[in-house]
């Protein structure tokens, strides 16, 4: 069995994407870990270069965003804000930039086969980072590849980005990453959001108490969709927002209990609803919502995301497109419960067959077999099917 070494920080996010993908990779290759929270103090003090000399040979060295984007970190960076929405297994204060720097420079300078796990915002990457990634000759494990992302020009035709450019939580976007993916497609391993087998729910729509719900951050299209919710549901959403704001203001530390409660509450909202609003925000991301809503057996209704068709979504078949208030109201009246159940079943089947952890394992196994045999020329999605060039 081939071996991969993951260099990074041991953490768990609100979204289980990281846990799922590392587990998938671990089922394909023997995976080892080095870094804060993964290694004991003796190994960390030894340093990655001396530590790795004592190990068996690895076939790949892999990093994710905390290490890969080190070159973009401002020297005035506040380390206490690092991993604020994560559960971490290491001392955060004073223990972020130094190990990130060490792992980053080792990775960029080493002669191993490399994988950069691009689990970062694809529209905030500066040109210096692009140049470093190009020079590294690493394979890129990416959420979408250029086929599942859009250029800012294309996005702007559907979603006006100008008003977001001055928003404190929304960075000035650019096309650097999109252009990189398109230019170096032979190095891109496309790996969209993946749903664990245990996340699937088979409760029929007839047993779900809510007709329609809206989840996620308060982007304009979601706020608009929320205006047609019943008063009681609006009140619940308002309470959740107050709790979240209170949590942020007090700088409360994320814990296993709080994360478990958050995930449970979040998934319950979907499981309790016949239809759940789905959108990708200002940049039309193929967010995890597009996968977890149908996996939970709820009908996804809302906006098309980038790569919508190629990911396998079809309007009226496994998704209901409704991109304004009138379309939402009409769609909520249009379909019978029997029709909605058929759409829900088709949606869940799509995720199970194409975007579950076991499906992703088979897809990536085929890709890495090609890589090991020197025949890989990039991968992509086309009309619901994963393909290698």
Q: What is the pLDDT of residues 28-65, one digit of tens each?
A: 999 999 999 999 999 999 999 999 999 999 999 999 99
Q: How confident is the model at residue 164 (pLDDT cuts 50, 70, 90)?
A: low
**Rounded-to-integer distance, Cα 94 and Cα 168, Å:** 25
**Rounded-to-integer distance, Cα 212 and Cα 299, Å:** 9
**CB count in 10 Å sphere of residue 253:** 11
Q: What is the mean pLDDT of residues 222-243?
A: 76
Domains of the chain from N-terminus onward: 3-194+356-388 (3.40.50), 198-354 (3.40.50)
Q: How confident is the model at residue 166 (pLDDT cuts 50, 70, 90)?
A: very low
117 DSSP β-pair partners: 141
pLDDT digit string, tens, across residues 72-128: 877 666 666 677 778 888 876 667 888 999 999 999 999 999 999 999 989 989 999
pLDDT score for 251:
55
pLDDT score for 366:
96
Least confident of 221-225, 241-245, 305-309: 241-245
**Rounded-to-integer distance, Cα 58 and Cα 322, Å:** 48
Nearest to 62 by CA among 13, 110, 126: 110
Who wins on pLDDT, 170 or 271? 271
3-state secondary structure of 91: coil
Residues 6+ apart with CB under 8 A from 195: 20, 291, 292, 295, 351, 355, 356, 357
pLDDT score for 167:
46
**Rounded-to-integer distance, Cα 277 and Cα 227, Å:** 12
Least confident of 223-232, 253-262, 275-284: 253-262
CB 379 within 8 A of CB 145: yes
Beta strands 113-118 and 139-142: pairing type?
parallel
**Rounded-to-integer distance, Cα 225 and Cα 270, Å:** 15
- Say what percent of the chain tops pLDDT 70: 89
Who wins on pLDDT, 377 or 171? 377
Mean pLDDT of the chain: 89
Task: Give CA separation, 69 vs 100, 122, 282, in Å.
Answer: 9, 11, 23
pLDDT digit string, tens, across residues 325-380: 999 999 999 999 999 999 999 999 999 999 999 999 999 999 999 999 999 999 99
């Amino acid at each position: 069995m081939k071996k991969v070494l993951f260099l990074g920080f041991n953490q768990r996010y609100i979204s289980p994407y990281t846990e799922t993908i590392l587990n998938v990779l671990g089922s394909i290759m023997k995976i080892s870990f080095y870094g804060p929270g993964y290694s004991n103090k003796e190994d960390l003090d030894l340093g990655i270069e001396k530590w790795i000399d004592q190990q068996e040979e690895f076939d790949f060295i892999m990093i994710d965003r905390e290490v890969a984007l080190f070159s973009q970190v401002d020297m005035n960076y506040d380390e206490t804000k690092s991993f604020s929405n994560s559960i971490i297994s290491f001392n955060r204060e004073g223990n972020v930039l130094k190990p990130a720097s060490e792992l980053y420079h080792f990775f960029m300078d080493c002669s191993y086969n490399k994988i950069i796990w691009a689990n970062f915002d694809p529209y905030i990457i500066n040109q210096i980072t692009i140049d470093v990634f190009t020079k590294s000759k690493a394979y890129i494990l990416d959420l979408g590849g250029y086929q599942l992302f859009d250029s800012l020009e294309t996005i702007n035709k559907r979603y006006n980005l100008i008003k977001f450019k001055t928003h404190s939580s929304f960075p000035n976007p650019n096309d650097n990453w999109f252009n990189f993916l398109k230019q170096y497609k032979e190095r891109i391993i496309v790996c969209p959001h993946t749903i664990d087998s245990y996340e699937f729910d088979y409760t029929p729509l007839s047993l779900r108490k809510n007709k329609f719900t809206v989840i996620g951050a308060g982007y304009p299209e979601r706020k608009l969709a929320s205006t047609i919710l019943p008063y009681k549901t609006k009140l619940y959403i308002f309470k959740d927002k107050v709790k979240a704001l209170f949590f942020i203001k007090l700088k409360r530390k994320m814990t296993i209990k709080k994360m478990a409660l958050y995930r449970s509450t979040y998934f319950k909202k979907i499981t309790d609803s016949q239809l759940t609003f789905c959108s990708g925000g200002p940049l039309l991301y193929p967010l995890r919502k597009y996968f977890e809503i149908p996996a939970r057996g709820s009908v996804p209704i809302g906006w098309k995301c980038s790569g919508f068709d190629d990911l396998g979504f079809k309007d009226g078949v496994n998704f209901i497109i409704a991109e304004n208030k009138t379309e939402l109201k009409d769609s909520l009246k249009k379909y019978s419960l029997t029709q909605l159940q058929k759409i829900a079943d088709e949606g869940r089947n799509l995720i199970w067959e194409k975007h579950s952890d076991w499906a992703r394992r088979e897809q990536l196994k085929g890709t890495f077999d090609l890589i090991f045999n020197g025949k890989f020329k990039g991968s992509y999605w086309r009309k619901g099917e994963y393909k290698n060039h």
